Chain A
């Protein structure tokens, strides 16, 4: 007899009623990007248990921590900062084990006197043909333990990691191994990411540590001269507007590796009246000797042990510089930061004799605390009848407040920017309630500045031709202001994918490149047009769909389903290649993907590549035999070519962006693709098919540019530009002539181009 759980039944109900899988990836990405670019007031929420706040306030009263004894630190890539006061031990050699098709490679292990760090990589997490059940079943979320020779077990914690469609890396930290303990075992109760099944078998990986060899790559941590960090301009005293002074900023150290510079600094308060909460990354800037702003990325995985403190009086900072800069004196500026202030303000609220769940009381209570005026608008008894939720009106420079009832025990509470509340442990108390404001997180205005001499690095080779893109925010703006007509040679028919209002589901659209004759072909995306322009194939939630443009007749491709995507019509018009997988979840999710080819009518489907990698078809070569495809991996995407007849595979080049789309120029000499610049800026490049001669075509940060596609004559690239000043919800298109760098906005066309004939 068939058995279903209630969860399965409800899941099927929701699935049926919704009708199809909804992919919010692009709209959420867009929301996040817009959120970043708006640079609105940052309203950070820190869920703070009342007891923690109280403890922190108490800690603020403890005198400063004694200066640490001088210790010697160094930096090892992937292992982080290690202490060299005693000899280091490292993994004798990388260890690889296989669990079915899954490979686990312990790549690095380092032991210093403070910690043991382990770096390992897991790939081929999903075997060929195996479903990615991550979305529907419980999966292992355990990290391995480290077992010592006496049987004792060390628990680890995650420092950092990376993931791609079929695997991940893990950088874990455990307590330091005893000095005599060199043979230990990494114990996996289950393998993270794998479904938890009844036949789960724990496995172990023996590790051997040895004294670090003399040639181990260890970078010294270099002390900067006595910091010239300064307290904020104008922050020397209590200010009338409630700003609190007494924070200093300094850059103390840096590490110079072969390919980057890591700066270490700290913010320190000399005041007992607040603790430093955080500094927004967007509020931190580095200007080099030429006055150019250098891209920084904050690194939470490495911390200067000497700058870290748990008393809230200092905040350790680490920033990576990946790009080029002018050697010489640079200035780091922090515009403002957020601090937590203890507050003392009380008001009494009387819920009456018989408060009801959901009942609301208008309060409009104005509180004065720490120099701020805060409004408690109203309070509502929660639906359970045992907690209160307050609606707040906070000034611009206050991110959140914490309220409590000190007279009655609570399960916990929270800070909030627009609302905050708490729940009583012993039920809702009778009688009037005295509500106490315990803490405020407020903006402390700077700026704080610190200077340093940026050293020369091996990667510091500024190259104008490589750093200057054709499409920049400036050239885009200029092109918008100086509209030009479309060159006569730019012709053809586009297929676009665009999420249309009001549902924002993707539709396949056909349009002339001039913007005229725009036709909605229906729900779906990734359309590809036949060479004779008579047919279109595209993906839908029901599978691949063939559309006869002449008759308008649609025909589902038998044997395909929602896991089939990215169809590409061959240049000879005889075949269609598409990507199949992952087996569950939206396309592009975790799991393996294979390449499948079929006849143009959908018949004779044959899997041409199925190797437990996440493969994705990208473009046909003109011989209709070779295909360019990408493989997701630890460092991004590998571009490869496969011959569909012989199965021969050739490596082309690497892209540092795992979801990169790649377009092949009509003469088959150049590829156009999306890559990431330092600071996670989206860029469009072209290069030869072996990756040589890269040319930066678009870097319009903060505007995102993606999805390059070649014109039929190979002279132009068309790409999607997310300019929210033009359209909040849709990218508009831009033409860029690769040779001349000419930019032509096509604001009448929106979406992503998936075919141009």
Chain B
């Protein structure tokens, strides 16, 4: 599907344009929001809120530019805000996991045994839960949305060095958490 037509229709007040966008992007958006917020209800609220904001501002969106990065960036930001609020309410647990993020992804990318693969996925998910929302966001942007550090810098209007720093901080935090697990085991 092409979002340009959907946005054009939306700009004309045709709500079916929103239907097109929702159908196309909601799955990835909900998963993105869920990975950051780790709560399905919050993720739904985040995506719903983001779509509503998009609708309210659609007339200013340049439909010749790709919609997906713009939209997912909004989802990420809204999810981060939601996760930050939640963070204050629910203290992080200090559970631990094995491996580094890269190692986990490397293993998960090639493991053939389904049981082992499922276990690795569980470990990655648990490891993500130990990160701060900001760190999780950086990991999601880099490894899930496949944004380059340059893109992350451009999308967030921050210096590339800052992205690299954030990414390294997230990786280091993970490594620390994972190291604890390794020592424990």
Give per-residue flags for A31-48: 1 if the beta carbon is below 8 A from chain B beta carbons, else 0.
111010000000111110
Contact: B12 with A299, CB < 8 Å?
Answer: yes
* Also in contact, A659 and B23, with CB within 8 A (given A22-B30, A28-B51, A193-B1): no
Give per-residue flags for B16-31: 1 if the beta carbon is below 8 A from chain A beta carbons, else 0.
1011101111111011
Chain B residue contacts of A502, Cβ below 8 A: 41
**Within B118-163, which residues are at the interface with A (CB < 8 Å)?**
120-121, 124-125, 134, 140, 143-146, 156-159, 162
Whole-angstrom CA separation of A577 from B13 in the bound complex: 35
Interface flag for B175 (CB, 8 Å): no
Partner of B35, one of A3, A10, A157, A680: A10
Q: How large is the interface on A (under 10, 10 to 19, 20 to 34, 35 or more residues)?
A: 35 or more
Contact: B56 with A35, CB < 8 Å?
Answer: yes
Give per-residue flags for A572-590: 1 if the beta carbon is below 8 A from chain B beta carbons, else 0.
0000000000000110111
Whole-angstrom CA separation of A503 from B39 in the bound complex: 12
Chain A residue contacts of B44, Cβ below 8 A: 22, 24, 27, 503-504
Interface flag for A204 (CB, 8 Å): no
Partner of A585, one of B9, B27, B52, B158: B27
Interface flag for B71 (CB, 8 Å): no
Contact: A161 with B2, CB < 8 Å?
Answer: yes
Contact: B35 with A589, CB < 8 Å?
Answer: no
Chain A residue contacts of B146, Cβ below 8 A: 5, 7
Chain A residue contacts of B25, Cβ below 8 A: 135
Q: How large is the interface on B (under 10, 10 to 19, 20 to 34, 35 or more residues)?
A: 35 or more
* Also in contact, A14 and B35, with CB within 8 A (given A32-B15, A163-B6): yes
Chain B residue contacts of A9, Cβ below 8 A: 105, 108-109, 120-121, 124
Smallest CB separation, B39 vs chain A (Å): 10
Whole-angstrom CA separation of A503 from B27 in the bound complex: 16
Could you say which of A262-270, A379-387, A530-538, A646-654 contacts chain B? Answer: A379-387
Smallest CB separation, A383 vs chain B (Å): 5
Whole-angstrom CA separation of A4 from B75 in the bound complex: 25
Chain B residue contacts of A35, Cβ below 8 A: 52, 55-56
Smallest CB separation, B126 vs chain A (Å): 10
Whole-angstrom CA separation of A278 from B56 in the bound complex: 13
Smallest CB separation, B153 vs chain A (Å): 9
Interface flag for B4 (CB, 8 Å): yes
Contact: A384 with B48, CB < 8 Å?
Answer: no
Chain A residue contacts of B30, Cβ below 8 A: 18, 22, 24
Contact: B144 with A11, CB < 8 Å?
Answer: yes
Interface flag for B85 (CB, 8 Å): no
Give per-residue flags for B75-117: 1 if the beta carbon is below 8 A from chain A beta carbons, else 0.
0000000000000000000000000000001001111100000
Contact: A24 with B24, CB < 8 Å?
Answer: no
Whole-angstrom CA separation of A169 from B166 in the bound complex: 43
Contact: A589 with B124, CB < 8 Å?
Answer: no
Contact: B34 with A680, CB < 8 Å?
Answer: no
Interface flag for A71 (CB, 8 Å): no
Chain A residue contacts of B120, Cβ below 8 A: 9
Smallest CB separation, B93 vs chain A (Å): 16
Contact: B144 with A32, CB < 8 Å?
Answer: no
Contact: A158 with B124, CB < 8 Å?
Answer: no
Contact: B16 with A31, CB < 8 Å?
Answer: no
* Also in contact, A680 and B158, with CB within 8 A (given A2-B112, A28-B22): no
Partner of A134, one of B24, B110, B112: B24
**Beyond A19-B40, A44-B56, A139-B1, 20 extra complex contacts between A and B, CB < 8 Å:** A4-B109, A4-B110, A9-B109, A14-B31, A15-B31, A22-B26, A24-B48, A25-B22, A28-B26, A43-B56, A47-B60, A161-B5, A193-B2, A281-B13, A301-B12, A386-B162, A411-B158, A589-B1, A679-B13, A680-B15
User: Which A residues form the contact surface with B (CB < 8 A)?
Assistant: 1-7, 9-19, 21-25, 27-29, 31-33, 35, 43-47, 134-135, 139, 141, 157-158, 160-163, 168-170, 192-193, 278, 281, 297-301, 382-387, 411-412, 423, 425, 427, 502-504, 585-586, 588-590, 657-659, 679-680
